[in-house]
Amino acid sequence: MSYIKNIFNSRSDSDGNFFVAVRHILGFKPKALHYYRTAFTHRSMNIKDDNGNAVNYERLEFLGDAMLGSVIASHLYLEVPSGDEGYLTKMRSKVVSREHLNELGKDLKLISLVESKIPKGQFGDNIHGNLFEALVGAIFLDRGYKYCEKFIYKKVIIPYVDIEKLEGKVISYKSLLIEWCQKEKKTFDYNVYEDTGNDDIKHFSVKLSIDDKVVSKARATSKKKAEEKASKRAFFVFQNQISKTF
């Protein structure tokens, strides 16, 4: 551990900019700054400890995910005493969805603190959510469960967890649409193909057919995003019918 501390202390941080930035995000004073250094270290830095273990935010991301799930689950359990296991699981998934965590990471501008050999403009959206989870993991190791819980309440639960709104929130339009098609005995097909347009970044296009009729089209930088976008458009086409099924 001392080796890791020395690595991070060797970085030019004499003016305390990193400490000030972290304290501003947290709302309290961090004690062991090296945890936060790790939380903002990308694997491309290729830093290892004395035992050859990689030092980057990925393990903290795992820990932060568990802490978020624990605190959110506790809150929902107490807030909705009538909710069964399935309901609580679905609601927790909505709060800690990748899309939501990415928004939280963006709001806090966490990517501005990342140490990486990869240009920040080349990262995908998920980097924001990954950093948020890693930050939560760092808080837990640095200050314990209570501080971690307070941070999650302040940054996640109080501003964003509205039970009524969450109940109506769709996590995945594709999953919802497929489930509806299966219930209603409808055939569906996602015809995805590479879009060779003039963009610098490769795109994919998709045509979504239901009962052999094209109902929506979409284009995005990945197959998954294109399918989700097409599914969302199809959802609004069949919204009235879907709402009757569910």
Residues belonging to the active site: 65, 133
User: pLDDT at position 187, please?
Assistant: 95
User: pLDDT at position 1, please?
Assistant: 53
User: pLDDT at position 229, please?
Assistant: 92
Which of helix, strand or coil describes residue 187?
A: coil
User: What distance, in Å, lies between the first and last C-alpha atoms of the chain?
Assistant: 53
User: pLDDT at position 15, please?
Assistant: 45
Domain with CATH 3.30.160.20 in the chain: 173-245
User: pLDDT at position 3, please?
Assistant: 46
- Residue numbers in the known binding site are 61, 130, 133
Average pLDDT for consecutive 10-residue bins of the chain (246 residues)?
49 68 95 95 93 95 96 95 90 88 94 93 91 98 97 93 81 86 94 78 90 93 90 90 78
Structure tokens at 87: 């309901």
Q: Which residue has the tokens 């003016």?
A: 15
Domain with CATH 1.10.1520.10 in the chain: 2-167
- Residue numbers in the known binding site for Mg(2+) are 61, 130, 133
Q: Which fold would CATH assign to domain 173-245?
A: Double Stranded RNA Binding Domain (3.30.160)
Report d(CA 67, CA 159) in Å as an integer: 18
Report d(CA 187, CA 213) in Å as an integer: 10
According to DSSP, the residues that pair with 209 across neighbouring strands are: 189, 214
Candidates 180, 159, 138; CA nearest to 8 is 138
Query: Which class is domain 2-167?
Result: mainly alpha
Residue 121 class from Cβ within 10 Å (0-12 exposed, 13-18 middle, 19+ buried)?
exposed
Q: Which residue has the tokens 């965590």?
A: 101
Note whether 60 and 134 are within 8 A (CB): yes
